[in-house]
Amino acid sequence: MPKPIFVLSGPNLNLLGVREPDIYGRETLADIDARCAARAALFGMAVDCRQSNHEGQLIDWVQEAREAASALVINPAGYGHTSVALLDALKTLAIPVIECHLSNPAAREAFRKTTYVSLAATGVVSGFGGTSYELAVEAAAGLAGAIRS
């Protein structure tokens, strides 16, 4: 089996289902992780889903992905708008990077319209709730060569 797709979720995403459900939905992160695993399995791949509220931990996982992952899906949450350090870590990757957001940042507050992560991302999926993660995993699988046309 190929290396897994790392699926990283940033700060406050551990509170999905209870935090601002009108924006982020009622699904929990565990629900979304299960959907990601099912989607990856369709392409003969696995996911390694992780969440942290700590910027340094996310950076450590991005660095780990350099050797251990076939692709990376990341929902940086608030760190997307603030973390040059996360951008610098992502720029070290030679694997596909898919930025993922539950909501559509372009349709929200002005400070959410730009993310540093986008500067290193191969592509961005946003605005589809939990399905954004599934679509990002599918894109990552395709870019990693698991989907043949």
Quick one: how far is CA 32 from the chain centroid?
A: 11
Check if the beta carbon of residue 101 is closer than 8 Å to that of residue 76: no
The verdict on whether 54 is a catalytic residue reads no
In DSSP terms, 7 is beta-bridged to 49, 73
Residue 58: C-alpha distances to residues 20, 43, 144, 149 (Å): 23, 26, 21, 33
79, 101, 116, 133: the catalytic one is: 101
24, 79, 116, 133: the catalytic one is: 24
The verdict on whether 101 is a catalytic residue reads yes
Which sequence positions are flagged as catalytic? 24, 101
